[in-house]
Amino acid sequence: MKAEEAACIFNALGQKSRLKIFKLMTKAGEQGLTPTQIIDALGEMPRNTLSFHLNALTQAGLCVSERAGRQIVYKAKDKTFKKAVKFLQKDAESE
């Protein structure tokens, strides 16, 4: 992983709402969550705001969306986050 990729990941998680959304998706596992489930878990959040945050997480490679019938389900990509953590650990070990 390159520094730019890790920075993008941590930048996406550096916003409180996105961090909460990512944690929710991580806890949901392979089942994932619909936008309605995310809003219900977080409390009130306008759908356009949620969409903005989900887009930022998707662009950073932290989640994917899949169509399940008439709904869209969002799933965390834990491996991307783990790679970013390993990137930090690798640099820390070499110092």
Residue reference for tokens 């550096």:
14
How confident is the prediction along the chain (95 residues), in pLDDT tens digits per residue?
788 888 888 889 999 999 999 999 999 999 999 999 999 999 888 999 999 999 999 999 999 999 988 999 999 998 888 888 888 887 555 54
Q: What is the pLDDT of residue 92?
A: 53
Q: What is the pLDDT of residue 6?
A: 84
- Other Cβ atoms less than 10 A from the Cβ of 12: the count is 22
Q: What is the pLDDT of residue 58?
A: 94
Please tell me the pTM assigned to this model: 0.85
CATH number of the structural domain spanning residue 86: 1.10.10.10
Which residues make beta-bridge pairs with 68?
A: 71
Report how many domains make up the chain.
1
Q: Quote the domain boundaries for residue 14.
A: 3-93
- Other Cβ atoms less than 10 A from the Cβ of 32: the count is 20
